[in-house]
Structure formats: structure tokens, C-alpha cells
């Protein structure tokens, strides 16, 4: 069995360097193009080659639309289950703010969070990586069919080239 983790395509807030968190922002035209390009590449090949396909995404429109575009392009109409546990980290007071503004208002917190986030760093009033990490992992394990096969993970951390790479 293979688990493919794919981040959503670009939104207008990504392009503006705004923190999104739980704010429901739609994909922009570039984000839809990124999803189509992902479908045409190795991600699409993995999906097409899957013996059994279980698609699960966040309830946020950007995640749902990315999944729909990729799946439609490679396997036709496929259902996508929605799981709130897969939502992005809650952004607290940072949601909707540009990252430069966050850095000015909360320099210490921003420095710990970016460019390589510390597990216990995060948005003021929001979630940290450590605090949120177990939810999606547990939910993925619960959602994946029990086949007795080895689980191999393919992680596609970003579709948008302007996003930082987290190591």
C-alpha cells in the first residue's frame, strides 16, 4: 500500500504571503494549474497505478479542489472523503496577516517558527507542530484499509515554488 501526501495548490493568500491556517481560501488559477501539473507527473502516475484508491482531504476548499483536479485528471470521477483532522494548523492571531507583519509584531515567535519550524513554535494563539502532529497520522492509519501490506509513503510537500521547504 502507498500513502501519498499532497499539499494543496496556490491560493491568492499564498501569493500574498498571508498565513491561511483554518481560513477557507479557494485555489487561484495558478493553484488549479499546479494541481493539473501534479496530475500529469509522478503523483498522477502513483494514483493511476494504485490497486485500491482511498482519497481523503481536509474540508478546506483549497485541499478539496486540489484533490478533485488531480483525481479527475488521472482516474476520472473519484470520491474524496473529507476529514477535519487533516486541516492545516490553526493560525490563531496570525491568520490573514502577511508574514512580514507577523515578523514585525511577533519577532521571537516568528524566528522560532520560520524558516525551520521548531516543534513547539507556532502562531500566537494557534497550534504548534507538536500539538497537531498526532491527529493526521492517527487518522490516516484509521482511514487506510487493513491489507497486511507494507505502507510506503510518498510525500509531495508543496506544489507552489514560492513556499519555503521545511526540513
Cβ–Cβ < 8 Å for 13, 20: yes
DSSP class of residue 125?
Answer: T
Buried b (16+ CB within 10 A) or exposed e, 14-34: beeebbbbbbebebbebbbeb
**Helix, strand, coil tally for the chain in percent (to 5):** 45, 10, 45
Cβ–Cβ < 8 Å for 143, 56: yes
Return all residues near 167 (Cβ < 8 A) that are at least 6 apart: 116
Contacts 24+ apart (CB under 8 A), 113-117: 114/164, 115/164, 116/166, 116/167, 117/166
Q: Which residues are catalytic?
A: 8, 88
Amino acid at each position: 500500500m502507498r500513502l501519498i501526501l499532497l499539499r494543496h495548490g496556490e491560493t491568492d493568500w499564498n501569493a500574498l504571503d498571508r498565513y491561511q491556517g483554518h481560513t477557507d481560501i479557494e485555489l487561484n488559477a495558478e493553484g488549479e494549474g499546479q494541481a493539473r501539473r501534479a496530475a500529469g507527473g509522478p503523483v498522477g502516475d502513483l494514483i493511476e497505478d494504485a490497486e485500491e484508491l482511498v482519497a481523503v482531504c481536509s474540508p478546506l476548499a483549497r485541499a478539496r479542489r486540489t484533490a478533485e483536479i488531480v483525481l479527475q485528471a488521472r482516474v476520472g470521477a473519484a470520491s474524496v472523503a473529507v476529514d477535519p483532522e487533516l486541516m492545516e494548523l490553526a493560525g490563531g492571531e496570525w491568520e490573514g496577516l502577511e508574514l512580514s507583519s507577523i515578523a514585525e509584531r511577533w519577532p521571537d515567535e516568528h524566528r522560532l517558527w520560520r524558516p525551520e519550524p521548531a516543534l513547539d513554535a507556532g502562531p500566537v494563539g494557534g497550534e504548534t507542530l507538536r500539538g497537531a502532529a498526532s491527529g493526521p497520522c492517527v487518522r490516516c492509519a484509521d482511514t487506510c484499509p487493513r491489507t497486511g501490506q507494507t505502507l510506503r509513503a510518498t510525500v509531495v510537500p508543496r506544489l507552489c515554488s514560492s513556499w519555503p521547504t521545511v526540513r
